[in-house]
Amino acid sequence: MIARISMALFVAGLGLGGFYLGREWEADELKELKLTPETAPSTRWGRTRTRFMSMFDYFSEPAWPELLPPPLPAPHQKPYTLVVSMDDLLVTSTWDRAHGWRTAKRPGVDYFLAYLSQFYEVVIFTTQYHYTALPVLEKLDPYNFFITYRLFRDATRATDEGPVKDLSYLNRDLSKVVILDTHANHVRTHPENAIVMSPWKGEVEGPEAKGLVEMIPFLESIGIYNPQDVRPILQAYQGKDIPREYAKKEAEAKAKFIEDWKAKGGHKGLSSGGFTLSSLFGGSASSQPAVPETYLEAKRREAQALYLQEQQYIKEHKEEFEALLEQDRQQQAAQASGNLFAALGSMTGLPAPPLPGQEGASAAPGAPGSAPQGSAPGAAAPAQK
């Protein structure tokens, strides 16, 4: 009798639970599930199944519901976000018995990151774990000038086919997001935002070595022309050799610009009856005015000048930046050692040793693992960044 009653209660509980799971959607719930009223299931069975399956998302979804902090207020936020894979796109790693693991930078990667950071919020998104990827990223951008954010394996979605970079968790307007990757499976949730490039395996010459630099004019044009939505543009180039196709379109646009300029009489300059303005100052009477720049060329020239100024600034202040980096390393090492000894002291009952620069400090008696209460005479105060 008890077993029958328990079974009846269990079945009744399942029925009530299923009925509750099939209730209508709420606005906060749709936002949490990355759904909209248009994309969310509209039937009771669909709502029940979606809610039930979401209970297991903890084991497969990214570690955070929003991978990036909210955008900065204008004018500090860049208008577009460029999500870039690291593996076999910016760098490649090889292993052999003689040298172990070695990582090489792709030709032009420094210029790629520095130049495009004028137009984009650059986010490096790798499927590696942070403890292996972070040292590489610190080499690519040691002063944190060009890479705005870094995302690692724990920010991906786990699937049977491998990790997926789900842009719906990015906390950015997807009409302004472009993602570069070398694996189509990594971007399969948002192919309309993706450019899938051929992987780089360490070549120093040939098309694969130049592929990253050749992509710059296309990405640059998006930042210059400022389209409302990048996805139709990316879809128009899907399956094509983007650098080559874009170069053709830019050449065609330049030819059309020159044709229109000539049709308006621009090639005649200010000449009249064989007299030109240049001949007044000793120039040749037959010289013609130069073809004016297009809007794209003018903005490109400005961006190139800004890039050179920024590189010159970094070069002139490199020693200062290196000193700040070394100061940060020392502070982090001191904090890490202090935390370790404090934890050991709490377990053993022994006082923690003084931190570097505090060797003469005295600890309060009877307080195991307590922080030093005084400083040695003449001890230097910690430097502030």
Range of the domain at 95: 80-244
Task: With respect to residue 384, please indicate whether it lies within any of the assigned structural domains.
Answer: no
pLDDT of residue 337: 66
Task: With respect to residue 136, please indicate whether it lies within any of the assigned structural domains.
Answer: yes
Question: Where is the domain boundary, 209, 228, 244?
Answer: 244
| pLDDT tens-digit map of 52-66 | 766 666 566 787 888
pLDDT of residue 362: 45
Contact call for residues 195 and 209 (beta carbons, < 8 A): no
| pLDDT tens-digit map of 170-198 | 999 999 999 999 999 999 999 999 999 99
71 contacts: CB under 8 Å, gap ≥ 6: 77, 172
Q: Are residues 85 and 48 in the same domain?
A: no
pLDDT of residue 374: 40
Task: With respect to residue 137, please indicate whether it lies within any of the assigned structural domains.
Answer: yes
Q: Are residues 48 and 196 in the same domain?
A: no
Question: Where is the domain boundary, 339, 356, 372?
Answer: 339
pLDDT of residue 232: 96
Q: Are residues 150 and 191 in the same domain?
A: yes
Listed residue (140, 185, 141, 180) closest to 163, CA to CA: 185
Distance CA 153, CA 17 (A): 35
117 contacts: CB under 8 Å, gap ≥ 6: 78, 145, 146, 147, 148
Q: Specify the 3-state DSSP secondary structure of 92.
A: strand
pLDDT of residue 91: 93
Paired with 313 in beta bridges are: none
Task: With respect to residue 160, please indicate whether it lies within any of the assigned structural domains.
Answer: yes
Q: Which residues of the chain have pLDDT under 50?
A: 270-281, 285-286, 360-385
Task: With respect to residue 347, please indicate whether it lies within any of the assigned structural domains.
Answer: no
| pLDDT tens-digit map of 9-35 | 988 888 887 777 778 877 777 766 666
